[in-house]
């Protein structure tokens, strides 16, 4: 059974930093594309980043480019999202999503990040 | 970047009646492998998104057969053959052909 467990979400002040983790079981981090998707209160779903391939290629949405960094630790079977220069509009539930080509993706349960003074 | 649009943005439905949501991409989502890289999700209030359809027309495991997806290229449709009260929520399409992946704005479905 595949499980993705996000952790690290908390209350952080504007301008602060935070690292989210997505620990996988049942899939290997190095062989799946791992995405982060977020849902801000009252807004739609937003894809924000992916790490993919043996070379760990990374891609970002414009809204987080230069502020967020996605990475992975294959030995821990974990993907990270390092977030910096956080703003109020980064407040959201952050989901980890794993996919390998055409089969359906797997989602985690989400981790809440609140950016507030 | 590929821009996704959906219509309608709000859809009041009557239980037992059919419903349909349209999703349009600014570029073709047909990959040279012959598959359309388009998924549909339902997000119920306070819940995580639930995958309904993947690769445009494949129903996800556990999804009732009243849900179906169709379309190719730039135009896609999600159909509910007979709406049930539990189907309320916001429906999203997402293109996963090329980064940045992009969601549609969502269609809010509620009961009349």
**Can you give the pLDDT at residue A43?**
96
Q: What is the pLDDT of residue B98?
A: 95
**Residues in chain B closer than 8 A to A103 (CB atoms):** 54
- Residues A67, A112, A29: CA angle, nearest 5 degrees: 70
Evaluate the omega torsion of the peptide bond into residue B18 and state whether it is cis, within 30 degrees of 0.
no
Biggest CA-to-CA distance, chain B: 42
Is B57 an 8 Å CB contact of chain A? no
Q: Does B32 touch chain A (CB under 8 A)?
A: no
pLDDT at B46: 87
3-state class percentages of chain B: helix first, strand second, coil last, to nearest 5:
5, 50, 45
CA B7 to chain centre: 10
Strand A18-25, strand A3-7: pairing:
antiparallel
DSSP A112: E
Rounded distance between C-alpha atoms, residue A111 and residue B48, angstroms: 11
**pLDDT value, residue A63:** 97
Cβ-based contacts under 8 A for chains A and B: 51
CB-based contact, A109 to chain B, within 8 Å? yes
Q: What is the pLDDT of residue A4?
A: 97
Residues of chain B with C-beta less than 8 angstroms from the C-beta of A104: 51, 54, 58, 60-61
Is residue A70 within 8 Å of residue A19, measured between CB atoms?
no
pLDDT score recorded for residue A44: 97
Strand partners of residue A78 = A23, A73
pLDDT category, A3, cuts 50, 70, 90? very high
Phi, psi of A18 (to 5 degrees): -160, 145
Which of residues B40 and A55 earns the better pLDDT score?
B40
Q: Does B100 touch chain A (CB under 8 A)?
A: yes
Asked if A58 is an interface residue toward chain B (Cβ–Cβ < 8 A), one would say no
Rounded Cα–Cα distance for residues B90 and A41 (Å): 13
| A73, two tokens | 């630790």
Low-confidence ranges of chain B (pLDDT < 50): none
Minimal Cα–Cα distance from A102 to chain B, Å?
7
Q: Does B102 touch chain A (CB under 8 A)?
A: yes
Residues in chain B within 8 Å Cβ distance of A53: none
CA gyration radius, chain B:
13
pLDDT in tens, A56-115: 999 999 999 999 999 999 999 999 999 999 999 999 999 999 999 889 999 999 999 999
Rounded Cα gap, residues A111 and A93, in angstroms = 5
Shortest Cα–Cα distance, A101 to chain B (Å): 10
* Residues A14-40, mean pLDDT to the nearest whole number: 97
């Amino acid at each position: 059974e595949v499980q993705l467990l996000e952790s690290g979400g908390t209350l952080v002040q504007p301008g602060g930093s935070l690292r989210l983790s997505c620990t996988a079981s049942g899939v290997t981090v190095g062989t799946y594309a791992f995405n982060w998707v977020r849902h801000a209160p009252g807004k739609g779903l937003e894809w924000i980043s992916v790490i993919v391939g043996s070379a760990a290629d990374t891609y970002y949405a414009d809204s987080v480019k230069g502020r967020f960094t996605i990475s992975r630790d294959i030995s821990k079977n974990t993907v990270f999202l390092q977030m910096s220069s956080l703003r109020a509009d980064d407040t959201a539930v952050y989901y980890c999503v794993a996919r390998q080509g055409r089969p359906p993706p797997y989602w985690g349960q989400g981790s809440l990040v609140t950016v507030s003074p | 970047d590929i821009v996704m649009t959906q219509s309608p943005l709000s859809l009041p439905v009557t239980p037992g009646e059919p419903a349909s949501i349209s999703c349009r991409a600014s570029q073709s989502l047909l990959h040279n492998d012959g598959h359309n890289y388009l998924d549909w999700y339902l997000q119920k209030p306070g819940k995580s998104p639930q995958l309904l359809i993947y690769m445009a027309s494949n129903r996800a495991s556990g999804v009732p057969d009243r849900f179906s997806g169709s379309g190719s290229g730039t135009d896609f449709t999600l159909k509910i053959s007979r709406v049930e009260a539990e189907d309320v929520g916001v429906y999203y399409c997402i293109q996963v052909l090329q980064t940045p992946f992009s969601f549609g704005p969502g269609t809010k479905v509620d009961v009349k």
